[in-house]
Amino acid sequence: MLLGLSALAGSVWLRVLDRVEVGAISASGCGGPTAGGSALRVQVRVYNSTARDGLARSVGDQLRSRGFVVIATANDPLIDIRDVRGAAEIRFGPKGAKQADLVRRQVPGAKVFRDAREDDVVDLALGPLFKRLATTAELSKSRQGLIASAATTPAPVC
């Protein structure tokens, strides 16, 4: 019973840290794409750039359970233009840099590609080397790095 309660407490604590991390990122932007809105509402389109059936839908469901707003799951519309060779490619515009960073932490080995889109929606194109989303331990480790860098980085002047 003690083990079960410990696991439950750990799960709740990780969810709280997720919310703190996202809030810290949105608060540091001086009016960026998440200012005035909820950074927990990161909009993502999940695309399958592989021959594996249902991959985008499956990963989209997992991201949705982690608090992301998955607005589409489909085959990669850029498959003939951009060849995703690794685990994944995260595509975003200037307004979606912070959101892309949050998505990047979810996908080990993902590469980022900045394009000229005008909105803050992030595209996640899953490649042939995609295995899984980051574990809670991996997310916790990246959270520690974020907290350490936030402590040593001065607040922006707006």
Which of the four pLDDT bands, split at 50, 70 and 90, describes residue 72? very high
Q: List pLDDT tens digits, range 82-117.
A: 899 999 999 999 999 999 999 999 999 999 999 999
147 assigned to some structural domain: yes
140 assigned to some structural domain: yes
pLDDT at residue 74 tops 50: yes
User: Contact at 8 Å (CB) between 56 and 47?
Assistant: yes
pLDDT at residue 125 tops 70: yes
157 assigned to some structural domain: no
Q: Which of 112, 144, 136 is nearest to 125 (CA)?
A: 112
Average pLDDT, stretch 5-28? Answer: 50
Which of the four pLDDT bands, split at 50, 70 and 90, describes residue 23? very low
Of residues 40 and 158, more confidently modeled = 40
Q: Is 11 exposed, middle or buried (0-12, 13-18, 19+ CB in 10 A)?
A: exposed
CATH number at residue 45: 3.30.70.2390
Task: Give the per-residue pLDDT at 144.
Answer: 52
Q: Is 77 exposed, middle or buried (0-12, 13-18, 19+ CB in 10 A)?
A: middle
158 assigned to some structural domain: no
Which of the four pLDDT bands, split at 50, 70 and 90, describes residue 140? confident
29 assigned to some structural domain: yes
Domain containing 14: what range? 2-152
Angstrom distance (rounded) from CA 91 to CA 101: 11
Average pLDDT, stretch 127-144? Answer: 86
Q: Which amino acid is at 26?
A: S
Indicate the number of domains in the chain. 1
Q: Which DSSP letter does residue 50 get?
A: S
Average pLDDT, stretch 9-27? Answer: 47
Angstrom distance (rounded) from CA 139 to CA 119: 26
Which segment of 36-40, 62-66, 81-85 scores lowest on mean pLDDT?
36-40
130 assigned to some structural domain: yes
144 assigned to some structural domain: yes
pLDDT at residue 152 tops 90: no
pLDDT at residue 38 tops 60: no
pLDDT at residue 7 tops 80: no
